[in-house]
Structure 1
């Protein structure tokens, strides 16, 4: 899609030329800064009960006299917060999709100036509205007619709007890449495919890309990662991508994404119902690739490293068995009590590998536990860290990105559940607090740097009729990396 700003004086929306004009109204009715044709139509619709002044309500007006745009869609944003505006824009664009409009202009009415966050919301909402997965479904519905979106603003607002458009478009492209990778079936989205995606990003944005094979991983002593991969005929890949946007002296931000391209559970095999959705178990890896793409577009002054351990978790005569003990790259031994708790086994070696970059901060992202879904549902990602300042930074990024997360406990007492009689630790604890003990397991490999863990098992994809990847938490991660670019160099 083509995203741009469109200059118009406040209160002169009737003269905006577009196939459809979306008017987002916030605040009270009397506060709307609309010229007479639009103001009269809005007041009449409210008086007649055709438009309720509630968040997300929309009104479609066709060929309104005195208005150049042939289609007008009024959407209510209530308090005018970014979240309310997103709800309004999404509802309006849903209405516009059913028309032949190719160019939609989004304008905001009410008090206050238009900011970058408003433009970003418009772009990401539009990108979400037009996304359709087609790679293995050639019979998919044709692309929506919407090809161009303009954000209407005044001259004084244009600089902020341009910044918001750029950020929104970069995030939207990152989300699209993450969704596209995760939506592909496991016979397409293999570890090798993820490595190829990383190499393509390297060529496009000048990233340094290194892909390690089994022999290189063995040499590094990643016994935990190797144990998970050994049951599959599909070769593992350990992917490292580096963006260097700041001085070499500045410690990098490191993102580690779980890349299980299909998870059967291994010998501890999963129930067959909905097992097809385990193609989404590389949602963490997909989000790292998507964030790298967004950062490549925006080029902030920050150093960023993406690490993706990628493999399948399959049952076979070679597969790791419950009770096996393996030695991680850190030298710590692990009793594998449940082969379906494999994500933490590949992440722990990647977290140890991250030490070599002497990072400013490490964030791992993983569709790690069903327990997190039970705890938080599908709205908030689970955030785990013992660092209060880091938690505050990530939560601030989640709010700014409208990509919510909720901080979970990480008290030392939870570590008791990981004790083993035969190794330094077991890979699972009891069922109670399963998402927390999983995070406690990872914490054992992060003592040399600031660290946080995002459990996205409930947010990386949707089930049911809307089944598909969401691209989360690319928006959160992108805003977090951008915020680190404003921190002083190490």
Structure 2
């Protein structure tokens, strides 16, 4: 999807050659019943007759009116033009026009709009119009190809927001693509091939390690998870070197369990198909690197993806087995369905070699986080207050929100083991916190944050599909951290409206303790 920005008045926006025009109309702007252009006149009539309310998401559809170059015009109220209200307005507007086979869409924002609001309008439109096609014999591909967004004023910040949105959408949709693919179309080998393709451009490097290299590194926890799978593991190391060689990188670690049966601690059958989404963290890392390739910011970023299936064959690790991690710490595996933390802990140890300024791991880790936060906010755990604050602010700015959870040392009591340095699970209580406490043991040499995206990486039910989260949060954090030209700072950002919770309980059953 291609985005273009223009400075235009509403009357000029209506003369453009597009298949449909969406007008985002703020609630505080009263339309002129005597205006020359028809939208204001018709909107004023609708308000006078009580057929249109100036509240976020209200929609008025107009068709083939005199003075309009396009047949379809949809007016959608954006209230105060705040990002959350713009998101509601765009979702409603797309619902009104999506039945038409639109290839070129115009979006005009009436009144003042921020760079954040403009970015939200475009990312919302892309999300609403997204269509998965890869494994369908007769796919209904997205017809919308080009979007021209306009406003009555112009600035470098608005134009940069459109550039940012273009890259963000590319990254989010790549993350959706790989998370949505069935597990037989998204094996560890497939992910490694995708990473190499993304990292084929300038400033990129990609190295893929197989079972022999991983064994040589001493990644006993990662290998334990993989030993029951016929598909060979892959440890993917991606590097984006846009900054000075002396600049310490940010390391992103994405959990890449391409299918999670639970292993010997096998999951219940209902909703197990959704465990193809257990590589949502890995997909988000791929998405971020895709966006970095388009934006080319002057920063250094490393992406680590430990990728494997978790299967229950005769070679699979058993409850009670003790393995040695790359850090040298021994782990008693009490539950083989708590495998995500096992692959992550070795990747976190590997991250030390990059002498990072920060390490962020992203994982569909616990059903407990789904129960705690639902499908609205990702769980954020961090040992560093500054890093946690930056991630929270980036989430609020991008609309990809998170919520900081506790890391009190008392939560680690349940991880004690008589037979190893640590157990991989504690009790049911505070399961997302105890999982984070397990990971924290492997992060003592750097600033670290953990994003539990078990509730936010995909939707269940009739709208089943990957969300592409938290690509937007991570990209905003990286760009703000780099102080890239034109990127908005995170301080004092307005909050963005929450997303609705979908199928929280069924998702929690499927995710369990992975």
> What TM-score do the two structures reach when normalised by structure 1?
0.95
Which residue in 2 is equivalent to 1:415?
412
Instruction: Give SS of 1:104's match.
Output: strand
Query: For the Cα contact (< 8 Å) 1:338–1:427, is it kept in 2?
Result: yes
| 2:137 is equivalent to residue 138 of structure 1 | yes
Query: How far apart are residue 134 of structure 1 and its match?
Result: 1.2
Query: For the Cα contact (< 8 Å) 1:207–1:244, is it kept in 2?
Result: yes
Which residue in 2 is equivalent to 1:351?
348
Instruction: Give SS of 1:320's match.
Output: coil
Query: For the Cα contact (< 8 Å) 1:12–1:35, is it kept in 2?
Result: no
Instruction: Give SS of 1:93's match.
Output: helix
Which of residues 302, 306, 319 in structure 2 aligns to 1:309? 306
Q: Relative to structure 1, is the Cα distance of residues 158 and 138 closer, same or farther in structure 2, using a 3 angstrom cutoff?
A: farther
Larger CA deviation: 363-372 vs 101-110: 101-110
Equivalence map 1:77-92=2 (5 Å): 77-92=78-93
| 2:268 is equivalent to residue 271 of structure 1 | yes
Query: For the Cα contact (< 8 Å) 1:256–1:351, is it kept in 2?
Result: yes
Query: How far apart are residue 53 of structure 1 and its match?
Result: 2.2
Write the deviation string for residues 45-100 of structure 1: whole angstroms up to 9, x where unpaired. 11222222221121100122223332210001122211110111122122221124
Residue segments in structure 2 that go unaligned for 5+ positions in a row? 485-514
Which residue in 2 is equivalent to 1:93?
94
- Once residues 36 and 228 of structure 2 are traced to their aligned partners in structure 1, the CA distance between those partners, rounded to angstroms, is 67
Query: How far apart are residue 13 of structure 1 and its match?
Result: 4.2
- Once residues 416 and 205 of structure 2 are traced to their aligned partners in structure 1, the CA distance between those partners, rounded to angstroms, is 40
Which residue in 2 is equivalent to 1:37?
38
Query: For the Cα contact (< 8 Å) 1:420–1:426, is it kept in 2?
Result: yes
Which residue in 1 is equivalent to 2:125?
126
| 2:474 is equivalent to residue 477 of structure 1 | yes
Equivalence map 1:14-33=2 (5 Å): 14-30=14-30
Query: For the Cα contact (< 8 Å) 1:263–1:279, is it kept in 2?
Result: yes
Query: How far apart are residue 290 of structure 1 and its match?
Result: 0.3
- Once residues 142 and 17 of structure 1 are traced to their aligned partners in structure 2, the CA distance between those partners, rounded to angstroms, is 23
Query: How far apart are residue 14 of structure 1 and its match?
Result: 4.0
Number of aligned residues? 483
Query: For the Cα contact (< 8 Å) 1:255–1:305, is it kept in 2?
Result: yes
Larger CA deviation: 129-138 vs 235-244: 129-138
Which residue in 1 is equivalent to 2:444?
447
Query: How far apart are residue 32 of structure 1 and its match?
Result: 8.2
Which residue in 2 is equivalent to 1:149?
147
- Once residues 368 and 167 of structure 1 are traced to their aligned partners in structure 2, the CA distance between those partners, rounded to angstroms, is 29
Equivalence map 1:125-274=2 (5 Å): 125-144=124-143, 146-154=144-152, 156-274=153-271
RMSD: 1.7
Write the deviation string for residues 272-293 of structure 1: whole angstroms up to 9, x where unpaired. 1111110100000000000011
Query: How far apart are residue 203 of structure 1 and its match?
Result: 1.3
- Once residues 194 and 272 of structure 1 are traced to their aligned partners in structure 2, the CA distance between those partners, rounded to angstroms, is 26
Which residue in 2 is equivalent to 1:117?
116
Write the deviation string for residues 166-194 of structure 1: whole angstroms up to 9, x where unpaired. 10010101011111101111111000001
Query: For the Cα contact (< 8 Å) 1:251–1:358, is it kept in 2?
Result: yes
Residue segments in structure 1 that go unaligned for 5+ positions in a row? none
Q: Relative to structure 1, is the Cα distance of residues 95 and 331 closer, same or farther in structure 2, using a 3 angstrom cutoff?
A: same
- Once residues 32 and 303 of structure 1 are traced to their aligned partners in structure 2, the CA distance between those partners, rounded to angstroms, is 52
Q: Relative to structure 1, is the Cα distance of residues 159 and 69 closer, same or farther in structure 2, using a 3 angstrom cutoff?
A: farther
Q: Relative to structure 1, is the Cα distance of residues 109 and 141 closer, same or farther in structure 2, using a 3 angstrom cutoff?
A: same
Larger CA deviation: 280-289 vs 24-33: 24-33
Query: For the Cα contact (< 8 Å) 2:10–2:108, is it kept in 1?
Result: no
Query: How far apart are residue 386 of structure 1 and its match?
Result: 2.4
Query: How far apart are residue 257 of structure 1 and its match?
Result: 0.2
Equivalence map 1:394-413=2 (5 Å): 394-413=391-410
Q: Relative to structure 1, is the Cα distance of residues 304 and 384 closer, same or farther in structure 2, using a 3 angstrom cutoff?
A: same
Query: How far apart are residue 452 of structure 1 and its match?
Result: 0.2
Write the deviation string for residues 237-284 of structure 1: whole angstroms up to 9, x where unpaired. 000000001111110000000000010000000001111110100000
- Once residues 213 and 361 of structure 1 are traced to their aligned partners in structure 2, the CA distance between those partners, rounded to angstroms, is 26
Query: For the Cα contact (< 8 Å) 2:234–2:308, is it kept in 1?
Result: yes
> What TM-score do the two structures reach when normalised by structure 2?
0.91
Query: How far apart are residue 102 of structure 1 and its match?
Result: 2.4
Query: For the Cα contact (< 8 Å) 1:254–1:363, is it kept in 2?
Result: yes
Query: How far apart are residue 31 of structure 1 and its match?
Result: 7.6
Larger CA deviation: 75-84 vs 31-40: 31-40
Instruction: Give SS of 1:98's match.
Output: coil
- Once residues 152 and 376 of structure 1 are traced to their aligned partners in structure 2, the CA distance between those partners, rounded to angstroms, is 36
Query: How far apart are residue 483 of structure 1 and its match?
Result: 1.3
Which residue in 1 is equivalent to 2:322?
325
| 2:306 is equivalent to residue 287 of structure 1 | no
Query: For the Cα contact (< 8 Å) 1:8–1:16, is it kept in 2?
Result: no
Which of residues 359, 375, 378 in structure 2 aligns to 1:381? 378
Query: For the Cα contact (< 8 Å) 1:115–1:157, is it kept in 2?
Result: no
Query: How far apart are residue 417 of structure 1 and its match?
Result: 1.2
Query: How far apart are residue 481 of structure 1 and its match?
Result: 0.9
Larger CA deviation: 297-306 vs 12-21: 12-21
Runs of 4+ in 1 over 3 A off after TM superposition: 9-17, 31-36
- Once residues 187 and 410 of structure 1 are traced to their aligned partners in structure 2, the CA distance between those partners, rounded to angstroms, is 37
Write the deviation string for residues 304-343 of structure 1: whole angstroms up to 9, x where unpaired. 0000000011111111110111110001111000000000
Which residue in 2 is equivalent to 1:8?
8
